[in-house]
Amino acid sequence: MSLLDEKMTSELADSLKRASDAARASLEETVTRQTTRLRSSTKTRKSAATRERIMAAATSLMVERGNTDFQMSEVSARCRMSKGALYYYFADKDALVEAIFDRSIDELVDSVEAVVAGASSALESLVSLTRELTCHMSAGSPLALAMAREVIDANNNVLPSMETHFARIISIVSAQLERAKGEGMVREGVNSRLGAVAISGAFIFAALEVASLGDDAPTGDRLAHSLIDIVLNGMGTETAHTALVSVESAVDAGGAATRPPITAQPSVSG
């Protein structure tokens, strides 16, 4: 073999070796990335499962006691984990309750969206979503208990805080009120967004206050129908309607300064 042939053979061998080494390095890097991704995915799933276990334990304590006055040590005991491990997932009890609140809102929205999607009319939709709101926000439910704590923690920002959390519910209700206008169930002049806020607000405070009514408190479907009746039919009598029209006419004519007092007369029956 000539020196030239030997040189070419050596260069070819070196080239094949470099190619082989590069292919091996690339394969090892791919395997490493996949292994790391798999471990990360497994760790993420385990972390999510642990968070759910912690939230489930805290939720059961809340429902059993009818309040959020549990201790983090009680949660860790139920989860059979150290307090240090518990605080790795939730910085404090407020963070844990807020997580339960947020998850409860997500579950409520999912339920409302499902019944609205299957409703054949605006009225059926409104009644169905009212029933879902009543069910999820009944006294002693995780959502009602967590929401009560959120209201306390919100201090002077109660309404903005609640509107933020219930934004999706408000949008759904607003859309159904617009749908109801087309079906002749809601007046055309009604501000649907404002009406949706009012309806959502009614459920928020009903969930917080209905427990104080004791045995006289409407519950379940009775509460749902009572609230939907107020929404669609109002509370005022014909006397109140006439007095309100009089006030509005006076305001349109002369402004608030000349507004006459509302003097509703007893309605005459029979």
Q: Domain ranges in the chain?
A: 22-86, 93-257
Q: What is the pLDDT of residue 23?
A: 67
Which residue in this structure is represented by tokens 């059993």?
A: 64
Res 197 pLDDT > 80:
yes
Q: What is the pLDDT of residue 53?
A: 93
Q: What is the pLDDT of residue 3?
A: 54
Q: Per-residue pLDDT tens for 32-69? A: 666 656 554 555 677 888 999 999 999 999 989 888 88
Res 265 pLDDT > 50:
no
Give the pair of three-digit tokens for residue 125: 């939709």
Q: What is the pLDDT of residue 268?
A: 41
Res 262 pLDDT > 50:
no
Give the pair of three-digit tokens for residue 118: 């299957």
Burial grade of 239 (CB within 10 A; 0-12, 13-18, 19 or more)? middle
How many alpha carbons lie under 13 Å from residue 16 in its C-beta half-sphere? 6
Give the pair of three-digit tokens for residue 216: 């006289």
Q: What is the pLDDT of residue 72?
A: 94
Res 224 pLDDT > 90:
no
Q: What is the pLDDT of residue 178?
A: 93
Mean pLDDT of 66-85: 92
* Poorest-pLDDT segment among 58-67, 178-187, 227-236, 248-257: 248-257
Is the pTM here over 0.85, yes or no?
no
Domain 93-257 coded CATH 1.10.357.10 = yes
Give the pair of three-digit tokens for residue 122: 């605006």
Longest dimension (CA), the chain: 127
Burial grade of 119 (CB within 10 A; 0-12, 13-18, 19 or more)? middle
Q: What is the pLDDT of residue 210?
A: 57
| Coil, helix or strand at residue 187 | coil
Res 111 pLDDT > 60:
yes
101/232 Cα distance (integer angstroms):
29
* Poorest-pLDDT segment among 4-18, 53-67, 126-140, 193-207: 4-18
* Poorest-pLDDT segment among 89-93, 145-149, 153-157, 221-225: 153-157
First to last CA, the chain: 127
Which residue in this structure is represented by tokens 């509005």?
A: 248
